[in-house]
Amino acid sequence: MNEHRVVVTGMGAVTPLGSGVRESFNGFLEGRNGVTRVTHFDVSEYRSKLAAEVKDFDPENWTDRKSASRMDRFTQFAVASAAMAMDDSELISFDRDRAGVIIGSGIGGAQALDEGYSILHEKGPRNLSSFLVSRMLVNMAAALVSIKYGLRGPLSALSVACSTGSNAIGDAFRIIQRGDADIMLAGSSEACISPLPYGAFCATRSMTASESPETASRPFDRNRDGFVMGEGAGVVVLERLEHALNRNARIYAEIAGYGNTADAYHLTAPAPDGSGMVRVMQLAMRDAGLGREDINYINAHGTSTVLNDKGESAAIEKVFGEFASQLKVSSIKSMIGHLMAAAGSVELVSTVMSVYTGRIPPTINYRDRDPDCTLDYVAGGAESLDIKAAISNSFGFGGGNCCLAVKKFEGNSAL
């Protein structure tokens, strides 16, 4: 198999800190907090009351009013992010038979489902909208992006809980790497700050009970007590290197490695020995041809839950050994909460921007050292570093683990 190199030439994101990659990334660097009390619905009876909501989002900036009204919020986020990524890539003339889409989601049309249930119980089945199915299906985001841009290559919609976005980008990377496409739009979207899914996660007791929005999301801190639910989307344009060079595209970074493992242990808890996390980082680095000493930065999964943060820190120490103390590790979930299925794609966007700009976002709210979490979590504010290579971790309910390795693009000398 002739393996092709794969680069990132466009990015788009919708996050609780803003619509747009640069607005969001600047917010990460500034350490801005996007967590507030939930405004989408009344949470007075819920165990958790906080979330990182996307604010001031107008889908009509990226699609017409009629089309927007037929989309669930998660689809609107995905369409907007894809439009930003396509504009950013400056792709105009290309073979659309060799361009595809993989955009995943965990829950899909959560608001459509909640609204549909209400109509069904209050008014009966004859009052359900004919657009309800297309609003709630997980694959509608990918399908509508494919239709919007006439992309006739591979089309898929993954759902792997919180690692969905990373898996989508990793699978798209593989498709280009093996020569089945020249261009892939890949990422994920989630908008599940809605009564049923929010209440369901409250029932798992995995979300914070804090009522302080400023400090509720505190990855790796000794006093962390659960994650903060967020919403948003991230989409990247991946391109075969030769294709990008032939059109003089701006190249942000190279996607160089992809690891995917399963804990095969528990529906919601990570394996106690962290073996799945260890193996997935090792696989991604091996795939990229990177040694432990080559990695400068890790964009951590860092959920602010007791088990994840402890397990991820231990896994990093096991993988990197004596090099672990030299690593910069940070979690942007400290600022935007856990975007669920969208987390991995937005975090990959942030990782690429760190590699491209040499700037690392901090982990805010890290104040009390946990003896089980002893790495350098960039707690004192954003830092500058010439990053040669970085990895982005994503772990999800069901035991799914994903890791993406990103290299600084050094030109075409290796062609």
For residue 385, what is the domain's CATH number? 3.40.47.10
pLDDT of residue 281: 98
Residue 162 designated active-site: yes
> pLDDT tens digits, the chain, 415 residues: what are they?
468 999 999 999 999 999 999 999 999 999 999 999 999 999 999 999 999 999 999 999 999 999 999 999 999 999 999 999 999 999 999 999 999 999 999 999 998 888 998 899 999 999 999 899 989 999 999 999 999 999 999 999 999 999 999 999 999 999 999 999 999 999 999 999 999 999 999 999 999 999 999 999 999 999 999 999 999 999 999 999 999 999 999 999 999 999 999 999 999 888 888 999 999 999 999 999 999 999 999 999 999 999 999 999 999 999 999 999 999 999 999 999 999 999 999 999 999 999 999 999 999 999 999 999 999 999 999 999 999 999 999 999 999 999 999 999 987 433 3
pTM above 0.85, yes or no: yes
Verify that 233 and 378 share a domain, yes or no.
no
Judging by DSSP bridges, how do beta strands 155-156 and 99-104 pair with one another? parallel
Rounded to whole angstroms, how far apart are CA atoms 120 and 126? 8
Residue 121 designated active-site: no
Verify that 269 and 314 share a domain, yes or no.
yes
Domain finish residue from 246, 276, 295: 246
Verify that 366 and 291 share a domain, yes or no.
yes
Rounded to whole angstroms, how far apart are CA atoms 14 and 235? 9
Verify that 287 and 307 share a domain, yes or no.
yes
Verify that 398 and 371 share a domain, yes or no.
yes
252 within a domain of the structure (yes/no): no
Verify that 159 and 267 share a domain, yes or no.
no
How many structural domains comprise the chain?
2
251 within a domain of the structure (yes/no): no
The domain of 57 spans 6-246
Cβ-based burial of 62 (10 A; exposed 0-12, middle 13-18, buried ≥19): buried
111 within a domain of the structure (yes/no): yes
Verify that 204 and 296 share a domain, yes or no.
no
Domain finish residue from 246, 266, 301: 246
Verify that 271 and 228 share a domain, yes or no.
no
The DSSP-derived string for 374-411 is -S---TTS-EE---SEEEEEEEETTTEEEEEEEE----
Give the Cβ contact number of residue 387 at 10 Å: 22
Residue 338 designated active-site: yes
Rounded to whole angstroms, how far apart are CA atoms 394 and 273? 17
Verify that 286 and 321 share a domain, yes or no.
yes
414 within a domain of the structure (yes/no): no
Bridge partners of 232, per DSSP, are 190
Verify that 288 and 237 share a domain, yes or no.
no
Q: Which residues contact 122 (CB under 8 A, 6 or more apart)?
A: none
412 within a domain of the structure (yes/no): no
pLDDT of residue 2: 63
Verify that 185 and 69 share a domain, yes or no.
yes
Q: Where are the beta strands (DSSP E) in 218-370?
A: 232-240, 253-262, 297-299, 328-330, 359-360
Residue-level length of the chain:
415
Verify that 17 and 154 share a domain, yes or no.
yes
Domain finish residue from 185, 213, 246: 246
330 within a domain of the structure (yes/no): yes
Helix (H) or strand (E) run with residue 89 in it: helix 73-89
198 within a domain of the structure (yes/no): yes
Q: Which of 4, 338, 373, 403 is catalytic?
A: 338
The answer to whether the beta carbons of residues 35 and 337 sit under 8 Å apart is yes
Q: Where are the beta strands (DSSP E) in 266-385?
A: 297-299, 328-330, 359-360, 383-384
Q: Which of 4, 202, 243, 301 is catalytic?
A: 301
pLDDT of residue 415: 33
362 within a domain of the structure (yes/no): yes
